[in-house]
Amino acid sequence: MDTTHIHFTGHPDCGNCPIRHRAVCARCETDELAALEQIKYYRSFEAGQTVIWSGDRMDFVASVVTGIATLTQTMEDGRRQMVGLLLPSDFVGRPGRERAPYDVTATTDLVMCCFRKKPFEDMMVRTPHIGQRLLEMTLDELDAAREWMLLLGRKTAREKIASLIAIIGRRDSSLKLRGDKGPLTFDLPLTREAMADYLGLTLETVSRQISALKRDGVISLEGKRHVSVPDVDRLLEEAGDDTDGGMLA
């Protein structure tokens, strides 16, 4: 078995399981874990495929194993706003809700680890720590959403781009705390258009601001997607973040 996969069994190498089974296994009944294992299944999607449409029945919950998925909301006239970005180990879906409240789309090739909802809910009732872990994850998501609201409502285009690069950079390599001055290198997993949907901008503005940050030496690019950041603190300053908290979720 590929040990980078997210799952809920007791595999000792499963380090980024979103419900942290390793931390709680001691408290679990073995047969409950086995039951989770039985309802688990994997689904793969190609880049660009839609996992589920807003309003569709959603009879599973899932975590991202590899690849990137986005949550987007769309208005009748086509205006779109990304409302969530799912990287490996992120969780999607909610016990107790029938239908998906937004589109879930694979922006890269994607593998998800799914659980049928009903058995998962039963499991939650029998195994309280799963619910507790889910609450913790949901609260983290809520904090991230609120940070994002500050970005959408009050930041300039340049600050938005810098923030996005900082968020992806920090998530991508799990890494570099603030104050670590080392250079930072990673791929942007989103098209300019997806970034625009994330940031509440147009793709032209995204492109212009990326060019501007490059011109000003805040970032450098190899190709269109590979970014390196010579000075992380400089980037964070451009992002308008205050110097300690924030943007971590």
Partner DNA sequence: GCGGCGATTTGATCTGCGTCAAAGAGTGCA
Partner DNA sequence: TGCACTCTTTGACGCAGATCAAATCGCCGC
Chain contacts with DNA (rule: CB under 7 A): 156-158, 191-193, 200-208, 210-211, 221, 223-225
- Closer Cβ to a second copy, 135 or 175, answer by number: 135
By the rule CB under 8 A, 1 interacts with a second copy: no
Burial of 29 (0-12, 13-18, 19+ CB in 10 A): exposed
For residues 31-70, which are near a second copy according to CB under 8 A?
55
Query: Nearer to a second copy by C-beta: 107 or 163?
Result: 163
User: Does residue 135 interact with a second copy by CB under 8 A?
Assistant: yes
Instruction: List the single partner that 84 binds among DNA, a second copy, none, CB under 5 to 8 Å by kind.
Output: a second copy
C-alpha of 124 from chain center: 23
Q: 25: which DSSP letter?
A: G
How far is Cα of residue 61 from the mean position of the Cα atoms in its chain? 15
Residue 198 Cβ, how far from DNA at the closest point, in Å?
A: 12
**Straight-line distance from the first to the last Cα atom of the chain, in angstroms, rounded to the nearest whole number:** 29
Pick from 11, 22, 80, 116: which binds a second copy (CB under 8 A)? 80
- Cβ proximity to a second copy: between 154 and 214 the closer is 154
Q: Is 154 in the site for a second copy (CB under 8 A)?
A: yes
- Indicate the residue among 58 and 82 with the shorter CB distance to DNA: 82
Q: Where are the alpha helices (DSSP H) in the chain?
A: 21-24, 30-39, 117-126, 128-154, 157-172, 192-199, 203-215, 232-238
Question: Distance of CA 238 to CAs 109, 163, 228, Å?
Answer: 31, 8, 15
Alpha-carbon distance 40 to 117, whole Å?
A: 10
- Residue 205 interface partner, choices DNA, a second copy, none, CB cut-off 5-8 Å depending on type: DNA
Alpha-carbon span 171 to 175, nearest angstrom: 8
Q: With CB under 8 A as the contact rule, which of the stretches 15-23, 26-34, 137-145, 209-217 interacts with a second copy? A: 137-145
| Strand, coil or helix: 140 | helix
> Rule CB under 8 A: is residue 28 a binding residue for a second copy?
no
Nearer to DNA, 146 or 225 (CB): 225
Q: Are 238 and 213 in contact (CB under 8 A)?
A: yes
What's the closest the beta carbon of residue 190 comes to DNA, in angstroms?
A: 8
Q: Which long-range contacts (CB under 8 A, 24 or more apart) does 119-123 make?
A: 119/35, 119/39, 120/36, 120/39, 120/60, 120/61, 120/95, 121/95, 121/96, 123/32, 123/35, 123/36, 123/39
* Least distance CB 6 / a second copy (angstroms): 20
Q: How many residues line the site for a second copy (CB under 8 A)?
A: 44
Residues that bind a second copy in the complex, under the rule CB under 8 A: 55, 71, 73, 75-77, 79-81, 83-84, 94-97, 101-102, 124-125, 128, 131-132, 134-136, 138-139, 141-143, 145-150, 152-154, 199-200, 240, 242, 245
